[in-house]
A = this chain, B = another copy of it.
Amino acid sequence: MKITDAESLVMGVLWKKSPRTSEELIQELGPREKWSEATIRTLLGRLVKKGAVEATGESRRFLYRPLIERSAYLHSESESLVDRLFGGEVAPMVANFARNRKLKPKDLKALKALIEDLEDGDG
């Protein structure tokens, strides 16, 4: 199931807090993304149709909540990037960031902690 860019912004606010009415979604997304109500409703509709979002409530004033997990979405997106661009290897990707982004000491520390954690937990 493919979530497009615009749709992912809708998912974003749903992942932050759900369920929500379309009105709330519109309140948050409309100004931020400069979208009309209709646009947001269209996106909601498409998400519902493709099974990424569920709309509950009998007719009128539905409550929307995400059906796919944020982590699954992050996973598939990241996976596709690392596969497409780095032959599926994570380290070269991080190396790329290192080269281009000047990983800050903070990042380094976080990464180190993370790796130690993994070594511990995973054997």
Q: Which residues of A contact B (CB under 8 A)?
A: 8, 71, 74-75, 77-79, 81-82, 84-86, 89-91, 93-103, 107-108, 110-112, 114-115, 118-119, 122
Contact = CB atoms under 8 A, between A and B. Distances in A.
A8 B101 CA distance: 22
Q: How many copies make up the complex?
A: 2
A114 B96 contact: no
A111 B111 CA distance: 9
Contacts of A91: 107, 110-111, 114
Contacts of A81: 77-78, 81
B107 A97 contact: no
A90 to B, nearest CB: 5
A78 B98 contact: no
Contacts of A78: 81, 85, 93, 96-97, 100
B96 A74 contact: yes
A101 to B, nearest CB: 7
A99 to B, nearest CB: 7
A90 B84 CA distance: 18
Contacts of A119: 108
